[in-house]
Chain A
Amino acid sequence: MVLGVLVIVFTMLRLTGDPTDLLAPRDATEQQREEARAAYGLDRPLTTQFVDFVGDASKLEFGNSIRYKQPVRQVIFDRLPATVELAIAAMIFALFIGVPLGVLAGVKSGSRWDSLSRGLGLLGQTIPSFWLSLVLIVVFAVKLRWLPSFGRETFSIGFMDIPNKSILLPAIALGLFPMAQLLRFTRSSVLEIVNEDYVRIARSKGLRMPLIYTRHILRNALIPLISVLSLQVGALLGGSLYIEAVFSWPGAGGLLAEAVSNRDFQLVQGLAFFGALIVIVISLLADILYTVADPRIRIGDS
Chain B
Amino acid sequence: MSEFLIETTPGGGVPEGPFEHDVDIERDVRLRARGAVALKRLARSKGGMFGAIVVLSLVILALFAPWIAPHDPLAQNLSAANSPPFWSDGGSSDYLIGTDTLGRDILSRLIFGTRVSLTVALGGVGIAAPLGMLLGLIAGYAGGKVDAVIVGVVNLVLSLPYLLFVVFVAAVVGRSLLNVILIFGITSIPIFARVTRGEVLKLRESTFVEAARNVGVKKGQILRSHLLPNLVGPLATLATFEMSGMILYEAGLGFLGLSVPPSTPSWGNMIDAGRRVLTIYPWISIAPGVAIVFAGLGLNLFGDWLRDALDPRSQRVKQ
Known A-B contacts A16-B172, A126-B293, A272-B168; A131 and B285 likewise in contact (beta carbons under 8 Å): yes
Given A126-B244, A126-B293, A126-B300, A275 contacting B172 (CB threshold 8 A) = no
List residues of chain A with CB within 8 A of the CB of B293.
123, 126-128, 131
Interface residues of A in 212-235 (CB under 8 A from B): 233-235
Tell me, yes or no, whether A135 is within 8 Å of chain B by CB: yes
A-B pairs with beta carbons under 8 Å apart, 21 shown:
A4-B156, A5-B160, A8-B156, A122-B297, A123-B297, A125-B300, A126-B248, A126-B293, A128-B293, A131-B286, A138-B279, A142-B278, A149-B279, A234-B164, A241-B164, A241-B256, A242-B252, A260-B171, A261-B257, A268-B168, A271-B164
- Minimum CB–CB distance from A243 to chain B (whole Å) comes to 11
Q: Tell which of A123, A132, A272 touches B164, judged by Cβ atoms closer than 8 Å.
A: A272
Q: Which residues of B contact A235 (CB under 8 A)?
A: 161, 163
B271-314 at interface with A (beta carbon < 8 Å): 271, 275, 278-279, 282, 285-286, 288-289, 292-293, 296-297, 300-301
A283 — nearest CB in chain B belongs to which residue? Answer: B159
Q: A275 CA to B162 CA in the complex, in Å?
A: 10
Query: Contact size class for A?
Result: 35 or more
Residues of B within 8 A of A17 (CB): 173
Report yes or no: B172 in contact with A265, Cβ–Cβ below 8 A. Answer: yes
Query: Interface size bucket, B side?
Result: 35 or more
Cβ-defined contact, A265 with B171, below 8 A: yes
| Cβ–Cβ contact B300 & A12, under 8 A | no
Query: A276: which of B160, B172, B256, B301 is its contact (CB, 8 Å)?
Result: B160
B227 at the interface (CB under 8 A from A): no
B152 neighbours in A (Cβ, 8 Å):
4
Q: Which residue of A lies closest to B248 (CB)?
A: A128
Whole-angstrom distance from the CB of B284 to the nearest CB of chain A? Answer: 10
A293 at the interface (CB under 8 A from B): no
Residues from chain B with a CB closer than 8 A to the CB of A234 are 160-164
CB of A260 within 8 A of CB of B167, answer yes
A257: CB under 8 A from chain B?
yes
Minimum distance in angstroms from A105 CB to a CB of chain B: 16
Q: Are B167 and A241 in contact (CB under 8 A)?
A: yes
Q: How distant is the Cα of A135 from the Cα of B286 in the complex, in angstroms?
A: 7
State whether the Cβ of A103 lies closer than 8 Å to any Cβ in chain B: no
For the complex, what is the distance from the CA of A137 to the CA of B248, rounded to whole Å? 20
B171 touches A238 (CB 8 A): no
Question: Are B162 and A238 neighbours in the complex by a CB distance under 8 Å?
Answer: yes
Instruction: Say how far A72's CB is from chain B's closest CB, in angstroms.
Output: 14
Is A130 engaged at the interface, CB distance under 8 Å to the other chain? Answer: yes
Nearest opposing residue in chain B for A141, CB measure: B279
**Which residues of the partner chain B approach A260 to less than 8 Å between Cβ atoms?**
167, 171, 256-258
B165 within 8 A of A: yes
Enumerate chain B residues within 8 angstroms of A4, measured Cβ to Cβ. 152, 156
| Extra inter-chain contacts (6) besides given A142-B282, A256-B164, CB under 8 Å | A5-B160, A8-B156, A123-B297, A126-B248, A130-B252, A132-B289
Whether A12 contacts B278 in the complex (CB less than 8 A), given A131-B271, A260-B167, A260-B256, comes out as no
Asked if B172 and A135 make an inter-chain contact with CB atoms under 8 angstroms apart, the answer reads: no
| B-side contacts of A268, CB under 8 Å | 168, 171-172
Which chain A residues numbered 248 to 267 have a C-beta less than 8 Å away from chain B?
Answer: 256-257, 260-261, 263, 265
CA distance in complex: A53, B251 (Å): 33
Q: Within 8 Å CB of A97, what residues of B?
A: none
**A1 CB–B CB distance under 8 Å:** yes
A174 at the interface (CB under 8 A from B): no
In the bound complex, do residue B167 and residue A131 qualify as a contact, i.e. CB atoms below 8 Å apart? Answer: no
Give bound CA distance, A17 to B179, whole Å. Answer: 14
CA distance A142 to B282 in the complex (A): 10
Q: Does A104 contact B (CB under 8 A)?
A: no
Shortest C-beta distance, B88 to chain A (Å), equals 13
A128/B159 contact (C-beta < 8 A), A134-B275, A272-B164 known: no
The answer to whether A276 and B171 touch across the interface, beta carbons within 8 angstroms, is no
Report if A12-B172 is in contact (Cβ < 8 Å); known contacts: A126-B248, A239-B163. Answer: yes
A-chain residues with CB within 8 Å of residue B282 when the two chains form the complex: 134, 138, 142
Tell me, in angstroms, the Cα distance from A123 to B278 when the chains sit together: 23
Question: Is B68 located at the chain interface by the 8 A CB criterion?
Answer: no
Query: Most chain-A Cβ atoms within 10 A of its Cβ — which of B161, B167, B169?
Result: B161
Residue in A closest to B179 when the chains form the complex, CB atoms: A16
CB contacts (< 8 Å) of A238 on chain B: these are: 161-164, 167
Q: What distance in Å separates the Cβ of A280 from its nearest Cβ neighbour in chain B?
A: 7
The 6 residue pairs across chains A and B that have the minimum distance between CB atoms: A238-B163, A126-B296, A234-B161, A131-B289, A272-B168, A275-B164
Contacts of B248 in A (CB 8 A): 126, 128
Which residues on the B side are within 8 Å of A122 (C-beta)? Answer: 297, 300-301
Chain A nearest CB, measured from B309 CB (Å): 18
Determine if B255 is an interface residue (Cβ-Cβ < 8 Å). yes
Report Cα–Cα, A131/B284, bound state, in Å. 11
The minimal Cβ–Cβ distance linking A140 to chain B, given in whole angstroms, is: 12
Residues of B within 8 A of A5 (CB): 156, 160
* Residue among A128, A138, A142 making CB contact with B252, cutoff 8 Å: A128
> In B243-265, which residues have CB < 8 Å from any A CB?
244, 248, 251-252, 255-258
Residues of B within 8 Å of A12, CB to CB, are 168-169, 172
